[in-house]
Chain A
Amino acid sequence: DAGVTQSPTHLIKTRGQQVTLRCSPKSGHDTVSWYQQALGQGPQFIFQYYEEEERQRGNFPDRFSGHQFPNYSSELNVNALLLGDSALYLCASSWRKGAPEGTEAFFGQGTRLTVV
Chain B
Amino acid sequence: LAKTTQPISMDSYEGQEVNITCSHNNIATNDYITWYQQFPSQGPRFIIQGYKTKVTNEVASLFIPADRKSSTLSLPRVSLSDTAVYYCLVGGGGATNKLIFGTGTLLAVQP
Interface locus among B9-17, B21-29, B38-46: B38-46
Secondary structure dominating the interface of B:
loop
* Residue B34 is within 8 A (CB to CB) of chain A in the complex: yes
Q: How many residues of chain B have a CB within 8 Å of chain A?
A: 25
Q: Are B42 and A109 touching (Cβ within 8 A)?
A: yes
B32 CB, min distance to chain A CBs, angstroms: 4
Q: Are A56 and B43 in contact (CB under 8 A)?
A: no
Query: Which residues between 53 and 89 of chain A lie within 8 Å of chain B, taking CB atoms?
Result: 56, 88
With a cutoff of 8 Å between Cβ atoms, the chain B residues found around residue A105 in the complex are 46, 97, 99
**A26-69 contact mask (Cβ, 8 Å, vs B): 1 or 0:** 00000101010000011111001000000010000000000000
Q: Does the CB pair A110–B98 fall under 8 Å?
A: no
Contact, CB under 8 Å: A102 / B44: no
Considering only residues 41-79 of chain B, those with a C-beta below 8 Å from chain A are: 41-46, 49, 51
Interface centre among B49, B51, B99 (most CB of A within 10 A): B99
Digit string of B82-111 for contact with A (CB within 8 Å is 1, else 0)?
A: 000001000111111111111110000000
Chain A residues within 8 Å of B, Cβ to Cβ: 4, 31, 33, 35, 41-45, 48, 56, 88, 90-92, 94, 96-97, 99-100, 102-110, 112
Which 3 A-B pairs give the minimum distances between C-beta atoms? A103-B92, A107-B43, A42-B101
Known contacts A96-B97, A104-B34, A109-B41; 4 additional CB pairs below 8 A are A48-B96, A97-B95, A100-B95, A103-B99
